[in-house]
Amino acid sequence: MAEPHEVNIPEVVAEVTAAFERYEQALGINDVDTLATLFWDSPLTLRYGPNGTLLGHRAIDLFRRNRNIAGVERTLRNTVIKTFGRDFAMADTEATRPDGRMVGRQSQCWVRMPEGWRIVSAHVSDIPDE
């Protein structure tokens, strides 16, 4: 059996946290260029969301550039960043919006690429707030 990867190496957690925070800042101001940079530029990149399945960097980028950003204001809670070794991480969070009706859930798989940390897969969904 292979040795398990070291979990949550502090400096790797810090790197991924910084990338995650950069993503959140870009999302909040609709900085589509930064958002595009943070997703892996590959036809294999995937985003599941309330608007359907987006397969490939190009589809994700087009979605971002053509969407109505009204109502993206949100407050994060229960954010958990886990790293496995030095090159793979998961970022999971919940988000509440000012209307308080729904809780957004977001999961991202991050991989260290030669150009830096990139999201290779993401899943976004909403559930009623209780």
Condensed to tens digits (0 to 9), the pLDDT of residues 16-44 reads: 999 999 999 999 899 999 999 999 999 99
Mean pLDDT of all residues belonging to the chain: 93
| Number of domains composing the chain | 1
pLDDT over threshold 90, residue 1: no
For residue 16, tell me if it sits in a domain.
yes
| DSSP notation for 42-106 | STT-EEEETTEEEESHHHHHHHHHHS--TT---EEEEEEEEEETTTEEEEEEEEE-TT-SEEEEE
pLDDT at 59: 97
pLDDT over threshold 80, residue 3: no
For residue 57, tell me if it sits in a domain.
yes
pLDDT at 4: 65
| Dist CA 2 CA 9 (whole Å) | 19
For residue 1, tell me if it sits in a domain.
no
pLDDT at 39: 98
Give the residue among 28, 8, 9 at the shortest CA–CA distance from 80. Answer: 8
For residue 63, tell me if it sits in a domain.
yes
pLDDT at 89: 98
For residue 94, tell me if it sits in a domain.
yes
pTM for this entry: 0.92
Range of the domain at 121: 10-128
Look up the CATH number of the domain holding residue 49: 3.10.450.50
pLDDT at 88: 98
